[in-house]
Amino acid sequence: MRYSQTFIPTVKEVPADAEIPSHQLMIRAGLMRKLASGTYIYLPAGQRILRKVMEIVRQEMDRAGALECTVPVVQPAELWQRTGRDVDYGETLGKFKDRHGRMNVLSPTAEEGFTYLASQEIQSYKQLPVNLYQINTKYRDEFRPRFGVLRSREFMMKDAYSFHASEACLHRTYMAMYEAYKRVFARCGLTYVIVEAETGEMGGTGSHQFTIPCASGEDVIVYTAAEDRAWNIEKAPVDPVAKPPAAEAGPPEEVHTPNVGSIEAVCEFLKTRPEQMIKTLVYQSGEEVFAALVRGDHEVNPEKLNQFFVGRHIELADEATIRKVTGAAVGFAGPVGLAGHVDRILIDHAAAAMAVGVTGANKTDYHLKNVVPGRDFPLEGEAVQVCDIRNAAEGDTYGGKKLLFKRGIEVGQVFKLGTKYSTKLEARFLDEEGNRKPCLMGCYGIGINRIIASAIELNNDEWGILWPMSIAPWQVMITPAAPEAEIVAAAEEIYQQLLNQGVEVLLDDRDLRAGVKFKDADLLGIPIRITLGKKSFAEGKAEVKLRSEKDKEMIDLAATAEHVSKMVRQMLDQLNAV
């Protein structure tokens, strides 16, 4: 490709609305432009990267026995009503009505589509297993799109869905996908951490996420100091904290705390600390109202709470409900005397282990001091349970091992779905004994755009991007650094030779000063640059430089193309050797 004939609009200045390196550099290097909040146009160079990542994913999926399909992005809402996800997905699900008045859904993921297909086509265990995938646009009406392509409304995702007659078979495909994912991310030149994203319910290894550790990540990864296990914070278990020796505490004492509802404000007002408070959150799930108690400095983990309400949607109770069950304004709920007013009380281990604490008084503008768990409110009973319902925090342990934290970008997830979708959409098969059973399912996703952003987050410097060879928009860039005809001709010759050898090469044939070309080359981040300058040309040499290295190598002009194409192959082999 000749630079003069492509379209790579680079910009010097950092765009005002881009915060993280990948977002800034994708704009600056002319890879993409914003169309609207959370939607981006991929320009030619960006599109090449997208295509390369998709091709790696496609190759690894095919190698692992998955079969490519394409399911429509616009799907009948009726299908989503049957699985209940039109409600469960909430506002994030994009919908529109067509001219016939039919509701349509913009696919944020495609369990329904693929399961529908299976329901139509799978009759017998003899047809199983089957693993189908697509690489297609997904749409999510995100609450808050941000960080460029990391959390966008429209994005490219590879999603696969497998169907099985047995748990063992599902596990085999699950592991095949797990291995395929390792290959995909390694080939893309990414260092990744695999975290456990789901335990309990499915037993054992129900779901793993592939995450790229980096500061811009939105997910929190929790891992043991020995790094022998890692979890998404949504699933990270914690040891119950030790109960301190019982403290001398008088009876609960009401204190007037006018307009002081928040933990912070109460601490300020009562000169206490968050870890001495018991936070009482009221949730609802349909008609059922329940309370969750955690220590003031801890955070409730909705995913953990969900384990107690499998398959149901839970949310924080609205103000009216809170008033009804606590008899007080929002901000003054507490566990003392709450038992009869809610259907259930879930108490985190750490809250239960407190010797004494401060809580809301279930009375507007009042809190209670000297509240002793177990004495002033029950820790056991029919509707009371002490359990793990909070996020792991600094200082926690699991299995006696210290827990550490870092941020990560989730780029892939493998998940054992079970029969949720196959039951609801009647994707069933007859087994050897003639019994009709719902298929066991797995689903496996990879965020294509996130791979690109992660690669940039991991590989950039003050000048621009440093692409791994496998996903670089071009493998080699040729920069004639002087306008003399013989230099241009030499560049042209090497360009043709490289093309003939199947190397993806970008020839900077623009009539510009060398400095400008160098700046653009560094911004774009093509891994190998061949520079032809007056001085080296006079000596019959070309300069070969890696984007990642400072030093250059002087190669005979006649040998340059051969030398460079060998380098390309070696760098690719290194990435593919997994």
Partner RNA sequence: CGGGGUGUAGCUCAGUUUGGCCAGAGCGCCUGGUUUGGGACCAGGAAGUCGCAGGUUCGAAUCCUGUCACCCCGACCA
Binding positions for RNA, rule: CB under 7 A: 10-17, 19, 28, 34, 36-38, 143-147, 261-266, 279-283, 299-301, 316-317, 322, 326, 330-334, 359-360, 391, 463, 481-483, 513-516, 518-523, 531-537, 543, 545, 552
Cα within 13 Å of Cα(202), Cβ side: 22
**CB of 169 or CB of 488, closer to RNA:** 488
**What is the C-alpha to C-alpha distance for residues 495 and 94, in angstroms, rounded to an integer?**
47
**What is the C-alpha to C-alpha distance for residues 15 and 516, in angstroms, rounded to an integer?**
20
Could you tell me the smallest distance in angstroms from the CB atom of residue 360 to RNA? 4
| Unique residue bearing structure tokens 């032809």 | 532
φ, ψ at 574 (rounded to 5°): -60, -40
Asked if residues 117 and 422 have their Cβ atoms less than 8 Å apart, the reply is no
Q: How far is CA 224 from the centre of its chain?
A: 21
- Helices 557-576, 485-500: crossing angle, 10 deg rounding: 40
**CB of 11 or CB of 246, closer to RNA:** 11
Could you tell me the smallest distance in angstroms from the CB atom of residue 147 to RNA? 6
**CB of 124 or CB of 262, closer to RNA:** 262
Could you tell me the smallest distance in angstroms from the CB atom of residue 545 to RNA? 7
Over the range 32-50, which residues count as b (16 or more CB within 10 Å of their CB) and which as e? bebeeebebebbebbebbb
Could you tell me the smallest distance in angstroms from the CB atom of residue 180 to RNA? 33
**CB of 79 or CB of 351, closer to RNA:** 351
Q: Which amino acid is at 174?
A: Y
Q: DSSP assignment of 525-566, as one string?
A: T-SEEEEE-HHHHHTTEEEEEETT-S-EEEEEHHHHHHHHHH
How many Cβ atoms from other residues are within 10 Å of residue 559's Cβ?
11
- Helices 44-63, 167-187: crossing angle, 10 deg rounding: 140
Q: Which amino acid is at 224?
A: T
H/E segment holding residue 412: strand 401-418
| Unique residue bearing structure tokens 């299908």 | 79
**CB of 242 or CB of 320, closer to RNA:** 320
Could you tell me the smallest distance in angstroms from the CB atom of residue 139 to RNA? 14
Could you tell me the smallest distance in angstroms from the CB atom of residue 471 to RNA? 21
Cα within 13 Å of Cα(398), Cβ side: 23
Six token digits for residue 95: 């919908």
Could you tell me the smallest distance in angstroms from the CB atom of residue 156 to RNA? 19
What is the β-pairing status of strands 344-348 and 288-295?
A: parallel
How many Cβ atoms from other residues are within 10 Å of residue 508's Cβ?
24
Could you tell me the smallest distance in angstroms from the CB atom of residue 321 to RNA? 9
Could you tell me the smallest distance in angstroms from the CB atom of residue 546 to RNA? 11
Six token digits for residue 427: 């994707």
Six token digits for residue 517: 């070309």
Could you tell me the smallest distance in angstroms from the CB atom of residue 35 to RNA? 9
**What is the C-alpha to C-alpha distance for residues 232 and 221, in angstroms, rounded to an integer?**
5
Could you tell me the smallest distance in angstroms from the CB atom of residue 151 to RNA? 9
Asked if residues 126 and 60 have their Cβ atoms less than 8 Å apart, the reply is no
